[in-house]
A = this chain, B = another copy of it.
Amino acid sequence: MRHASGPMHAIACRLHVDETLAAGAAVGLDAPRAHYLRHVLRLDAGATVALFNARDGEWAARIDGFGKGWCSLVVADRRRVPAPEPDLWLLFAPIKRARIDFLVQKATELGASVVWPVFTRRTAMARVNLARLTANAVEAAEQCERLSVPELRADATLEAAVAAWPAERRLLVCAEAGAARPIAATLADIDPTVPLGVLVGPEGGWAPEELSWLLGHPFVLPVGLGPRILRADTAALAALAVVQALRGDGAGRPVDRGAAAPRCDPD
């Protein structure tokens, strides 16, 4: 379901960059990305790519030249103006390698703004490779046409994450045990201006005393995802999808693909 090209330019790919994007600005890429453009996509100087970040939007940029381990580009026209994106946090207990990469990619596609690994009582994993997860998030953002990349937070214990929790943000805890309400019914009762987070436990489930402790916090709402026992990654994706459809940006349409906002900046 991906598309590589827009209607106004032959855009070879989208790349997220931290640098300031403005007409005429020069941007340099590091060795892996220079290699990708030159040897994977086989682009030459003069080819156009898109560069983006949440602060400046998305811009067409022309490849100026390649060198040994670098690529320089000159920014041309703006294609998309910066726009608000969903404010939705995902907290999850780390899972095994293939599944955690997949989870971060999918959470990015589904519009999570913060992705935060938290260690619970029964979490089987001892470490998280934050750099690898960040690379997964960047690549997914490039492919799914987000302007932002989710913030990958350094892993923390669940206790520390809860202690630092902003009181006004509701935390939807996916719970297959106990008296959780269905996620759709819970969402219908939350003021649409209240920011949300989703918390998913490990494959081993919540320890009973851990769940009781969580539910004692005023910002926590236990939610159910139906009668089947979902794997941790499935539960996270299902919860994010339902939140976006019911009170996130699920009514939005991809740029360039319907009657919605044009892809290119009208300025």
Contact = CB atoms under 8 A, between A and B. Distances in A.
Interface of A: 1-3, 98, 102, 105-106, 109-111, 143-146, 174, 176-180, 182-185, 200-205, 224-232, 234-235, 237-239, 241-242, 244-246, 248-255, 257-260
Given A1-B202, A183-B245, A184-B245, A177 B228 contact: no
Contacts of A249: 226-227
A162 to B, nearest CB: 19
Nearest to A256: B177
Nearest to A259: B179
Contacts of A260: 227
Copies in the complex: 2
Contacts of A238: 110, 237, 241, 244-245
Given A241-B242, A245-B184, A251-B182, A229 B2 contact: yes
B1 A145 contact: no
| Chain A interface helix/strand/loop/mixed | loop
Given A1-B176, A179-B258, A244 B226 contact: yes
A259 B58 CA distance: 50
Given A227-B255, A237-B241, 12 more contacts: A2-B229, A102-B102, A109-B229, A110-B228, A144-B228, A176-B257, A179-B259, A182-B251, A227-B252, A227-B253, A229-B254, A239-B241
Nearest to A224: B253
